[in-house]
């Protein structure tokens, strides 16, 4: 598994939009939930390792342009949304997820070789949510206020508590952030999560200033969408076989160990204004928790 933790707003664009957002982010077709394409992650990681002149780079990420071209041996799936940070009246913000998002993540974790609990997640009603025992999000009357939603909070059940602990340890290395994550972790219904994924992203108005008049240039106003800072996404990476290379080839495990190492990356657009800074964290199959 690999995890992307956004440290600043993250814009991986889908081209020109058809609504009021001129530059929307990439989303899944069936759920309309945000994602980061695997090709984006693979390309950025190649650039990061290329600067370090890491050996076997062409075997891992591919090579083109001549008769010695080969496909990349590492396979990256799209990074799908695991937790969306949402503004909260209590506790500043919450890391939100849903039963469907966790069930899809469970399937990926099992494919990576992790042993997952057999019991499934119980459905969550649209007017309720589940939080940790020491949650920072709950008021004195067991209410949670996310954006303009008023939800009734209940304690995390065993399955949801397992997920809060697993994600905290997989994404964060230090104990402080592990505890903070669990205090801010909340499971909402699939319908509410879909609503938050569509309305809880950042939409910024951007302009271009005319050099002479020092006013907005004609037609130079646009709106662009970004995933907010603290967003957490997860995906799979594996190596079936090694392509290319002359002489002795590295093994599949050698490529994974060499190139699937934790890194601070810049992904997507708007890099010169600080967007797209992410922590990329890898966890071996069977060792995610």
Q: Output the tens digit of pLDDT for each of the chain's 289 residues.
A: 999 999 999 999 887 776 778 899 999 999 999 999 999 999 999 999 988 877 888 888 988 877 778 888 999 999 999 999 999 999 999 999 999 999 999 999 999 988 887 767 888 999 999 998 789 999 888 899 999 999 999 988 888 889 999 999 999 999 999 999 999 999 999 999 999 999 999 999 988 888 888 888 877 888 999 999 999 999 999 998 888 766 678 888 989 999 999 999 999 988 898 999 999 999 875 455 5
Beta-carbon-side half-sphere exposure of residue 19 (alpha carbons within 13 Å) = 8
The pLDDT score that the predictor gives to residue 197 is 96
The pLDDT score that the predictor gives to residue 262 is 94
Residue 209's DSSP bridge partners are 216
Please list, in sequence order, all residues whose beta carbon lies within 8 angstroms of the beta carbon of residue 136, skipping any fewer than 6 positions away.
90, 91, 92, 183, 184
How far is the C-alpha of 279 from the C-alpha of 168, rounded, in Å? 14
Cβ–Cβ under 8 Å, residues 63 and 79: no
The pLDDT score that the predictor gives to residue 210 is 81
**Interior/surface letters 143-165, b for 16+ CB within 10 angstroms, e for the rest:** ebbbeebebebbebeebbbbbbb
Q: What is the model's pTM?
A: 0.91
The pLDDT score that the predictor gives to residue 246 is 66
The pLDDT score that the predictor gives to residue 267 is 96
Helix (H), strand (E) at residue 219: strand 216-226
The pLDDT score that the predictor gives to residue 206 is 86
Helix (H, G, I), strand (E, B) or coil at 263: strand
Q: Nearest Cα to 3, choosing from 202, 255, 177?
A: 177
């Amino acid at each position: 598994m690999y995890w992307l933790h956004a440290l600043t707003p993250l814009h991986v664009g889908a081209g020109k939009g058809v609504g009021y957002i001129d530059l929307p982010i990439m989303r899944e077709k069936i759920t309309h939930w945000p994602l980061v394409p695997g090709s984006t992650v693979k390309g950025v990681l190649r650039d990061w390792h290329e600067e370090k002149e890491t050996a076997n780079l062409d075997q891992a990420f591919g090579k083109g342009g001549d008769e010695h071209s080969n496909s990349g041996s590492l396979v990256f799936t799209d990074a799908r949304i695991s937790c969306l940070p949402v503004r909260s009246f209590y506790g500043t913000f919450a890391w939100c997820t849903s039963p469907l998002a966790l069930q899809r993540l469970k399937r990926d974790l099992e494919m990576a070789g992790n042993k997952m609990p057999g019991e499934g997640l119980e459905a969550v009603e649209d007017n309720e949510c589940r939080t940790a025992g020491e949650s920072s999000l709950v008021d004195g009357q067991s209410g949670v206020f996310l954006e303009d939603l008023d939800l009734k909070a209940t304690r995390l059940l065993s399955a949801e508590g397992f997920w809060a602990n697993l994600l905290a340890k997989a994404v964060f290395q230090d104990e402080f952030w592990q505890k903070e994550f669990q205090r801010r972790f909340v499971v909402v219904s699939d319908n509410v999560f879909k609503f938050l994924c569509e309305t809880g992203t950042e939409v910024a108005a951007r302009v271009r200033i005319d050099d002479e008049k020092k006013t907005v240039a004609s037609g130079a106003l646009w709106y662009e969408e970004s995933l907010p800072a603290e967003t957490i996404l997860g995906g799979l990476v594996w190596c079936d076989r090694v392509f290319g290379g002359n002489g002795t080839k590295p093994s599949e495990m050698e490529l994974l160990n060499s190139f699937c190492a934790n890194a601070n990356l810049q992904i997507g657009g708007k890099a010169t204004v600080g967007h797209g800074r992410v922590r990329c964290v890898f966890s071996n199959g069977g060792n995610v928790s």
